[in-house]
Chain A
């Protein structure tokens, strides 16, 4: 039985995390009958972070505010899906700036997101393991 359906939930434990455990608990519930899928979902997320960070960086280099906003919008949704809410907040701000046709400050925000990711990634992996016993 997966631990996320036991009596103790991570929402009660991880208060200092950059990850909202509730989102991963929802994913666990979604794939209750085939928990192996959870590892694939999380790996898809990790791939998307690398790909969309790169795309934002390229958009910054080429001055393409529209594409930067679009990439940030996508990554914002992806982060919210797995509960990486601090990263989602950064992406929301990049999206807002990009939608105004601006780029200013987004290099700093992108660095902030990358820094957060170095902490978020192992937190997500550990959380998934503890919730489901699955390794991503």
Chain B
């Protein structure tokens, strides 16, 4: 099955403060066959879209490093909100910072994918495929070092 068919009809909320990266991700999603991609320039704008409009999205693509409400705070707010139609919506994190502690923290908060910039269509597609199955990233048991199961 091609990517275009795999993601046909899907919708995404893209939360990224940098315009260049936001546009790039939205264009990649269009290439992958997403039907709609809604931009939000920060976590506050995204929460307003989710809570005030009641809009439904199949997946959220989230930058971690944003001003005011960063990606970590956004995930906490999302998961704790009772005003969002689906507060367990899959989240794929995109970050320019590959530090392990960021990944650990994000996984503990409940995410479904983790991407380090620069973003490629192939990697984004793989992360979205998993996310749309609603499989959260988790850590292996103590036998192995803390690494996400992919």
Which residues of A approach B to under 8 Å, CB–CB?
Answer: 23, 26, 29-31, 33-34, 37, 40-41, 44-45, 47-48, 51, 70, 73-74, 76-78, 80-81
A-B contact count (CB 8 A): 59
Contacts of B76 in A (CB 8 A): none
A66 nearest in chain B by CB position: B67
Interface code B15-29, partner A: CB below 8 Å = 1, 0 otherwise? 001111101100110
Cross-chain contact A48 with B19 (CB below 8 angstroms): yes
Cross-chain contact B27 with A77 (CB below 8 angstroms): no
Interface members, chain B 118-144 (any A CB < 8 Å): 118-122
Contacts of A33 in B (CB 8 A): 31
Cross-chain contact B31 with A78 (CB below 8 angstroms): no
Select B117's contact among A48, A51, A77, beta carbons within 8 Å: A77
Select A26's contact among B17, B21, B65, B120, beta carbons within 8 Å: B120
Contacts of B19 in A (CB 8 A): 44, 47-48, 51
Contacts of A51 in B (CB 8 A): 19
Cross-chain contact A77 with B28 (CB below 8 angstroms): no
Select A44's contact among B23, B117, B119, B121, beta carbons within 8 Å: B23
B54 contacts the other chain (CB 8 A): no
Interface code B76-88, partner A: CB below 8 Å = 1, 0 otherwise? 0000000000000
B9 contacts the other chain (CB 8 A): no
Cross-chain contact B121 with A47 (CB below 8 angstroms): no
Q: Give the complex CA separation of A23 and B118 in angstroms.
A: 9
The 10 nearest A-B residue pairs measured at CB:
A48-B20, A77-B96, A81-B118, A30-B121, A74-B18, A77-B117, A44-B20, A78-B20, A44-B23, A80-B118
Q: Give the complex CA separation of A76 and B21 in angstroms.
A: 11
A31 nearest in chain B by CB position: B31
Cross-chain contact B96 with A73 (CB below 8 angstroms): yes
Cross-chain contact B27 with A41 (CB below 8 angstroms): yes
Extra inter-chain contacts (10) besides given A48-B18, A81-B117, A81-B118, CB under 8 Å: A29-B122, A30-B31, A31-B121, A44-B20, A48-B19, A51-B19, A74-B18, A76-B96, A77-B21, A77-B118
> Shortest Cβ distance from A59 into chain B, in angstroms?
13
Contacts of A29 in B (CB 8 A): 120-122
B66 nearest in chain A by CB position: A70
Q: Give the complex CA separation of A18 and B38 in angstroms.
A: 35
Q: Give the complex CA separation of A49 and B60 in angstroms.
A: 27
